[in-house]
Amino acid sequence: MIENQKIRPAQVIGPLGEPLTLDSLPAAGTTRWVVRRKAEVVSAVSGGLLTVDEVCDRYDLTVEEFASWQRAVERSGMPGLRVTRIQHYKSLYERQQKY
């Protein structure tokens, strides 16, 4: 029986089309989260560069906080990660789900 091995890519494509590696991700312990940094971390997890647990440990995030970033990207792309626009995109998404 063959066991699944953890195979990680050396790089993934970032939100702006640039290659992302472990070294190019935001520094561990980052506390100021701009849209680009959030999108890079979401892309790293989506591409298999890091796991959700590794991201939460590395950046001291809760699973819920990271999951909210993923939902925002899935629903509205990078603009959905803007703190000032979260409520707008949330209500827009809820209205779209009614129809």
Task: Please tell me the distance from the alpha carbon of residue 7 to that of residue 5, in angstroms, as a whole number.
Answer: 6
Structure-block tokens of residue 46: 């989506």
Residue 49 in this model has a pLDDT that exceeds 90:
yes
Given this model, what pLDDT does residue 82 score? 86
The predicted-structure confidence for 81-95, as pLDDT tens digits, reads as follows 987 665 666 666 677
Dmax (CA) for the chain in angstroms is 51
Domain borders along the chain are 12-24+32-81
Beta bridge pairs of residue 13:
19
pTM, rounded to two decimals: 0.78
The region of weakest confidence among 33-37, 43-47, 79-83 is: 79-83
Phi first, then psi: what are they for 24, rounded to 5°?
A: -90, -5
Q: Which fold has domain 12-24+32-81?
A: Arc Repressor Mutant, subunit A (1.10.10)
Which tokens hold the place of 52? 């959700």
